[in-house]
Chains A and B, each alone.
Chain A
Amino acid sequence: MRNMGVSDFPDAFKETREAKGVCPFNDQDDPVAMLLRFKDVRKSAHDYKSFISGAVPGRIVIPSEVNIRDTRQIPFEVDPPEHTEYRALVEDWFKRPFDSTYEAGLESIILSELEKVLKKGSCEAISELSLPIQSRALTLLLNIPLKEAETWISWGTHVFRSEDSNLDADKASILYDYIDAEIDRVIAQPDDSLYSVLLNSEYQGRKMTKEEVKGVLVLTFAGGRDTIINYLTNTMAYLGEHPEAMDQLRNNPALVNTAIEELVRYFSPLTHMGRVVAQEKEVCGHVAKEDTRISLCWASANRDEAVFENPNDVVLDRKMNPHVAFGFGTHKCLGATHARQLMKVFLRVFTQKVGKLTVVNAVENIEDWGEHQRKVGFDRLEIELNPIE
């Protein structure tokens, strides 16, 4: 067997997925039955009547955030039929990344960040590339001035996390206070940002409340931050160890279309997401009791050998790739168009500008799900970059 490289992301759930399919995980005395098989994950994601998202705010997130927030995230923590109406309000806005001006905006953001580090020759990839690119790109999605990203970058990678605790209410309040202030500013001075669009939207025949607007916006920060950062950082680690992939992407621009899907399958930046059981139901031989939690483990489903050939290999031109990295069904990722476009442009610009990437030092970020430890990304990734000859 060859040695584990920095860009190898092992399948953490294989044994349990094959033997049992369900894995218990105790989270703050509100246990979760993690569903690990592709079929069960998709079926249960589809069954929004038995497995609901509209529980107490924070409960479907694992680890549970029930004790640190009251704001309901919208449309994430709402079920149909309410979900359908909320989602319809924002669906078109979240398709703006298809526009060519949006793509050009992404390109200029990525180019300018990359040129900065190419001049230096080396950098820490998360703080000097992934975070600034993610933050600046988010200004396009919200349609606000680029300079606003400076504030978000100053928060660092773990806005919600402190040194000694994974769930820190004080840190989470930085984001809430910021969004409250922004909403008030936009009420006083309307503009053409997502804030204004939401404030002017009607839900069930009345204006959206400030609390609802906040519920939507907080999600664009929370859901689109660590996920994108890991997607970008892990991809750089991969390119560093696979110079042949750099060449292939450079010489065959159409390859990015399948490559972005394969990389997001392989990395699965969001490991799983919970649901609360509304009515007792059997899944995979496990009786999910009413008012307990299950989770849909996207990361495990994406390595299921029953569906994917050679699931642990990165096959950039994988033709059939029904991955669930962006979720499945009702709550499938609203930010996926943005994420995909960002990655497409990133791969294009990166392979055109960078000749060689060398990983100098890596500190892995390992998630702890009881019996299972899963590598989801890095806490640090020091790299050297050489411009293309």
Chain B
Amino acid sequence: MAKITYITKEGESLVFEASSGSLMELAVKNKVPGIDGDCGGVCSCATCHVHVAPAYYEKLEAPSEIEADMLEFDDNVNEYSRLCCQIPVSDAVDGITVEVAN
């Protein structure tokens, strides 16, 4: 089980646990506002854009070229931006905090 914290645009912290799927799927299942996951996770919609807490950003595998190109054109991009459909839930991300970007 990994514990994931989402911070919404309103500044609310929502904490959920899961052992599989992606951070996008967990957020959609729990209706986290601002994460729609329109494309189901194939990297085509950017409605799952988050800012990862810096301490965790480094621990993640670097984004693929497709993800990076997608982010290049989205609003509110910063150096900690990720499309969270590309972040699998695993022990490696236990305790991670991500902030909804849009």
Whether the pair A322, B70 counts as a contact (CB closer than 8 A) is yes
Q: Is B55 an interface residue (CB 8 A)?
A: no
> Shortest Cβ distance from A7 into chain B, in angstroms?
21
Whether the pair A319, B42 counts as a contact (CB closer than 8 A) is yes
Within 8 A of A (CB), among B73-90: 73
What total of chain B residues lie within 8 Å of the partner, measured CB to CB?
14
Q: How far does the alpha carbon of A111 sit from the alpha carbon of B44 in the complex, in Å?
A: 30
Type the 1/0 row for B57-98, where 1 means its CB is closer than 8 Å to any CB of A.
000000010100110010000000000000000000000000
Whether the pair B40, A261 counts as a contact (CB closer than 8 A) is yes
Partner of B66, one of A257, A320, A336: A320
Q: How far does the alpha carbon of A154 sit from the alpha carbon of B36 in the complex, in Å?
A: 36
Q: List 25 A-B contacts (CB under 8 A).
A: A39-B69, A42-B73, A46-B73, A95-B36, A257-B41, A258-B40, A258-B42, A261-B39, A261-B40, A261-B42, A261-B44, A307-B66, A318-B42, A319-B42, A320-B64, A321-B39, A321-B42, A322-B43, A322-B69, A322-B70, A324-B44, A328-B73, A337-B38, A340-B38, A340-B40
Within 8 A of A (CB), among B43-59: 43-45
> B residues touching A (Cβ–Cβ < 8 Å)?
36, 38-45, 64, 66, 69-70, 73
Q: Which 8 A-B pairs have the closest CB atoms?
A: A321-B42, A257-B40, A46-B73, A322-B44, A322-B43, A261-B42, A320-B66, A322-B66
> A residues touching B (Cβ–Cβ < 8 Å)?
39, 42-43, 46, 95, 257-258, 260-261, 307, 318-324, 328-329, 332, 336-337, 340
Q: How far does the alpha carbon of A256 sit from the alpha carbon of B38 in the complex, in Å?
A: 13
Whether the pair A321, B44 counts as a contact (CB closer than 8 A) is yes
7 new A-B contacts, CB < 8 A, other than A321-B39, A322-B44, are A39-B69, A318-B42, A320-B66, A322-B42, A322-B66, A322-B70, A340-B38
Chain B residues near A329 (CB-CB < 8 A): 73
Closest to A318 in B: B42
Q: How far does the alpha carbon of A258 sit from the alpha carbon of B69 in the complex, in Å?
A: 20
Chain A residues near B39 (CB-CB < 8 A): 261, 321
> Shortest Cβ distance from B98 into chain A, in angstroms?
21
Partner of B42, one of A320, A324, A328: A320
Most A CB within 10 A of own CB, among B40, B42, B66, B69: B42
Chain B residues near A258 (CB-CB < 8 A): 40, 42
Chain A residues near B70 (CB-CB < 8 A): 322
Q: How far does the alpha carbon of A258 sit from the alpha carbon of B37 in the complex, in Å?
A: 12
Closest to A336 in B: B38
Most B CB within 10 A of own CB, among A39, A46, A320, A329: A320
Closest to A328 in B: B73
Chain B residues near A337 (CB-CB < 8 A): 38
Q: How far does the alpha carbon of A20 sit from the alpha carbon of B45 in the complex, in Å?
A: 28
Closest to A46 in B: B73
Closest to B41 in A: A257
Q: How far does the alpha carbon of A257 sit from the alpha carbon of B22 in the complex, in Å?
A: 14
Whether the pair B43, A320 counts as a contact (CB closer than 8 A) is yes
> Shortest Cβ distance from B82 into chain A, in angstroms?
15
Q: How far does the alpha carbon of A332 sit from the alpha carbon of B40 in the complex, in Å?
A: 16
Whether the pair A321, B73 counts as a contact (CB closer than 8 A) is no
Q: How far does the alpha carbon of A307 sit from the alpha carbon of B69 in the complex, in Å?
A: 11
Partner of A321, one of B38, B43, B64, B69: B43
Q: How far does the alpha carbon of A332 sit from the alpha carbon of B44 in the complex, in Å?
A: 11
> Shortest Cβ distance from B70 into chain A, in angstroms?
6
Chain B residues near A323 (CB-CB < 8 A): 42, 44
Q: How far does the alpha carbon of A320 sit from the alpha carbon of B44 in the complex, in Å?
A: 8
> Shortest Cβ distance from B34 into chain A, in angstroms?
12
Chain A residues near B44 (CB-CB < 8 A): 261, 321-324
Q: How far does the alpha carbon of A320 sit from the alpha carbon of B69 in the complex, in Å?
A: 12
Q: How far does the alpha carbon of A43 sit from the alpha carbon of B69 in the complex, in Å?
A: 10
> Shortest Cβ distance from B19 into chain A, in angstroms?
17
Q: How far does the alpha carbon of A332 sit from the alpha carbon of B70 in the complex, in Å?
A: 14
